[in-house]
Amino acid sequence: MCTVDAAAAILDEVGTRIVDVHTHIWGEGSDADSEQLVDMMDRFNLAWIGVSSLTGGEQPKPDEVRAANKAVARFHRREPDRVVGFTYLNPRHGPDALDELQRCVGEHGFGFIKLWVSAKADDPCVFPVIERAIDLGITVLQHSFCKATGLLENESDPVNVANLARRYPEARIIMAHMGADFTFGCDAIRDFPNVWADMCGSYCETGMIDYALRTIGPERILFGTDAPGASFLNNLYKVLDTPLTPEQKRLIFHDNAEALKPCKR
Distance CA 222, CA 155 (A): 21
Determine the number of helices (DSSP H) and then strands (DSSP E) in the chain.
Answer: 11, 8
Question: From the first residue on, what is the mean pLDDT of each consecutive set of 10 residues in the chain (265 residues)?
Answer: 62 85 84 95 94 95 96 96 98 98 97 98 98 98 91 96 98 97 97 97 80 98 96 89 93 97 65
Distance CA 10, CA 238 (A): 13
pLDDT at 6: 65
pLDDT at 204: 62
DSSP category for residue 233: H
DSSP category for residue 54: -
Q: How far is CA 183 from CA 80, 180, 190, 258, in A?
A: 36, 9, 10, 26
**Centroid of chain to Cα 123:** 20
Distance CA 196, CA 174 (A): 5
Closest-CA residue to 57 (of 87, 88, 101, 84)? 88
pLDDT at 201: 75
**CATH superfamily assigned to domain 18-23+31-260:** Metal-dependent hydrolases (3.20.20.140)
User: What is the residue extent of each domain of the chain?
Assistant: 18-23+31-260
pLDDT at 265: 41
What's the whole-model pTM score?
0.95
Closest-CA residue to 47 (of 264, 260, 253)? 253
pLDDT at 86: 98
pLDDT in tens, 186-206: 999 999 999 999 999 766 678
Q: Is cis: bond before 262, omega within 30 of 0?
A: no
Residues sharing a CB contact under 8 Å with residue 180, sequence separation 6 or more, in sequence order? 144, 145, 146, 147, 201, 202
Contact 183, 211 (CB under 8 A): yes
